[in-house]
Structure 1
Amino acid sequence: MEEEELENYCNEKLSWEVHLQDINGGDGRRVLSDKTPKVQFREHVSKARWDVELGLAEIIEVKGNMWKSTGIIRGSKLYCSIEETLFLVELEALHLMDANETILSLKNIYEMIAEEKNGCCWESYKAFKHLKSLGYIVRRHGISWTMKSDKSCSKLTCSQGNQERNEASAKGEDNISINNLFRDMQISGLRPAFDVYRPNSKFKKSDPGVPYFVLCLARDPPSTVEIEDLRRRCNGVPFRICNVEHGLVSFFSFTSIKLPVLP
C-alpha cells in the first residue's frame, strides 16, 4: 500500500464515527455516538504478544469481559486475529507486543494489515470494524470459537472448520496448528469472510448457535451463479454482500422473486 494511503487511513481513524451500545456489557467500556469517538476505559488494559508464525496475537494478560465474545481458544491459550487485535488496540483496550516485549504502535499494526499476510486486508478490516462498532459479535467464517463444542458447525459447514477438527483429532487439541487457517485465507474475490451474531450479553463460545448471517466480501458486483454458489456454501444461513469503496462500507442482500407470466 502506498505510504500516502496508509497515512490517510491513520488520519481517518481519528474521525471514525462510532455507533456502539455497550458491546459486551459490563466490561467497563462505553462508546457514545458522535462525530468523534468518546471512550471511557477501565484502568487496566489487556496485553497480547504477536506470533509471527501463527499470524495471531496470543493474549497473555486478560482484563475485562470483552473476551467472552472475542478471540478463539486453543488448548489453554486465547488467540486474536489481526482484525480483532487492531480493533481493540484502536480502542486502547489492548497492548500488542512483539517477541521482544516491545509495544507495537498503531502504525505498525496498520502496516501488518497492508501486507495482507494474515488473512485480512483493508476492506475486510473496515467491514469487521463497522459491524463490531454496531455491537455485533463477529468471527472469521468457519473458524470454531473452541475445539470442544461449536454446535453451529452442524449447520454451517465449511472446509476450514472440517480441516481444523480433523487436525485436532489427529494431533490433539494442545498441539493443533492453526496458522494455515488464518494466514492462507483468501482475501480477494467474492468470499464468505465473517460469521455474524446478534449482540448478546449471554453469548457463549462453547455454544454460539447459528450465525445471524454470513458476511461475504465482494469487490465487484456478483453474478447470479456466484450468488447461488454463496447460498449453497452458507447452508441455509442468510448472507449479506459487503462492498468497501473509498472507506464507505455498504451491505446488500438478495431476494428471489418470481414474476407472473404475462399472457
Structure 2
Amino acid sequence: MEDKTRGCSTSEDSDDEVYLQNASDEEELHFLSGSMPKLQLRNVKSKSCWIEEMGMGEVIEKNGKTWVTTGIVRSDKIYSSIEETLYLMELGDLLLLDTDGRNIPLTEMYKKVSDKKNGCRWELFEVYRHLKSLGNIVGRHGVAWSLKSIKNSYKPVDLEVTEESILVHMSSNKYELSISKLFGELQINDLRPDFYVYLPNSRFRKSSPADPSFLLYLCR
C-alpha cells in the first residue's frame, strides 16, 4: 500500500513505485553542462516549494525513501539545497512549485545554478550528481543534517553555529531562516571541503549520521 505523507513529516519509512519514460527534448537541450540522466517520470512525486529568499526548497509533500538521505531537518520540516532539489527534479522524483503554486521547470533551476547563487555552481552540481548516481549519501559540508545530530555530538570541525542560530522561526507567514544565511554564505575555497560523503548505508539516519566516509574538495 502506498504510504503518502503530506506536510513536512520526517518519517523515513515510505516508498513509491517507479515508472520510467524518456526525458523531453527541450529539457535535454537546455541542460547546460555534463550529461543529463534519463528523466524518470513517477506516478507519485514529492512536492516542494522553492523559497527564493532561502535559496532552498521546503518539502510540502514527501513520498518514498528519498528524504531519508536528502535534505536537512529543522523544526520538523525538511529543506533541500539547490543541488538536492535539481537532482531530484532531473530524476522526475520531485515537483517544484513557487510560492504562487506555479510549477518551476528544470530550465529555470538550471539558470539558478549557472548564476552561481545559493552556494552552488555547475562544477559542484556535477560532482554532487555523480556521487549520488553511485548511491552515496552526500551533504553540504558545514551544515548539520538535523539539530538532533548536533545534540548527538555530531560536530563538524568548521561548523561555527549554535543550535539557536539555526532554528526556524515563522512570524506572520514570513520566513526568518538563519539556515538560508548559513547556506548562502558557504563561500567554498581551496582549503574548505565541499561535501560530506557517506558510502551507501541502509542504516543511515540524519539524527545520528556518524562520521562521513570522506570529505570531498573540489580543486579550483
- Same topology, TM > 0.5: yes
Q: Distance in 2 between matches of 1:205 and 1:12?
A: 30
Distance in 2 (CA, whole Å) between partners of 1:11 and 1:127 is 12
Q: Where does residue 57 of structure 1 map in the other structure?
A: 57
Structure 2 residues not aligned, in runs of 5+: 1-27, 170-176
RMSD: 2.2
Equivalent residue of 2:163, what SS? helix
**1:183 CA drift (Å):** 1.2
**Paired residue type of 1:163:** V
Q: Which residue identity lines up with residue 196 of structure 2 in the other structure?
A: D
1:69–1:204 CA contact under 8 A, matched in 2: yes
2:163 paired residue among 165, 177, 192: 165
- For residues 12 and 142 of structure 1, the distance between their equivalents in structure 2, rounded to whole angstroms, comes to 26
Partner residue in 1 for 2:89:
89
Unpaired stretches in structure 1, ≥5 consecutive residues: 1-5, 17-36, 220-263
Structure (1 or 2) with the greater helix fraction = 1
Identical-pair percentage = 41
2:46–2:95 CA contact under 8 A, matched in 1: yes
Secondary structure of 1:83's match?
helix
What are the Cα deviations for residues 172-221 of structure 1, in whole angstroms up to 9, with x where unaligned? x34252111111211554531100011011110000000000001112xx
Q: Distance in 2 between matches of 1:69 and 1:121?
A: 22
Secondary structure at the residue paired with 1:112?
helix
Cα shift readout 1:89-137 (whole Å, capped 9, x = no counterpart): 0000001111111111111000000111100000110110010000000
Indicate the structure whose relative CO is greater, using CA pairs within 8 Å and at least 6 residues apart.
2
Q: 1:38 to 1:122 in 2, by over 3 A?
A: closer
Cα distance change on mapping 1:186 and 1:174 into 2, 3 Å: closer
1:131 matched residue in structure 2: 131
How many residues align? The count is 185
Q: Secondary structure at the match of 2:154?
A: helix
1:68, distance to aligned residue in structure 2 (A): 0.5
Instruction: Please list, as runs of the form range in 1=range in 2, the aligned pairs for 1:208-227 lying within 5 A after superposition.
Output: 208-219=209-220
Give the TM-score normalised by structure 2: 0.76
AA partner of residue 162 (structure 1): E
Determine if contact 2:39/2:90 at 8 Å carries over to the other structure. Answer: no
The ranges of structure 1 where at least 4 consecutive aligned residues each deviate by more than 6 angstroms after the TM superposition are: none
Q: Does 1:69 align with 2:69?
A: yes
Larger Rg: 1
Counterparts of 1:12-161 in structure 2, within 5 Å, are 12-14=34-36, 16=37, 37=38, 39=40, 42-150=42-150, 151=152, 153-154=154-155, 156-158=156-158, 161=159
Q: What is the DSSP-based 3-state SS (H/G/I as helix, E as strand, rest coil) of the residue aligned with 2:49?
A: strand
Q: What SS is found at the alignment partner of 2:67?
A: helix
2:190 aligned with 1:192 = no
Structure 1 residues 127 and 57, CA, compared in 2 at 3 Å: closer, same or farther? same
TM-score between both structures, scaled by the size of structure 1: 0.65
CA offset digits 1:59-106 (Å, max 9, x no partner)? 101010110110001102110000000000000000111111111111
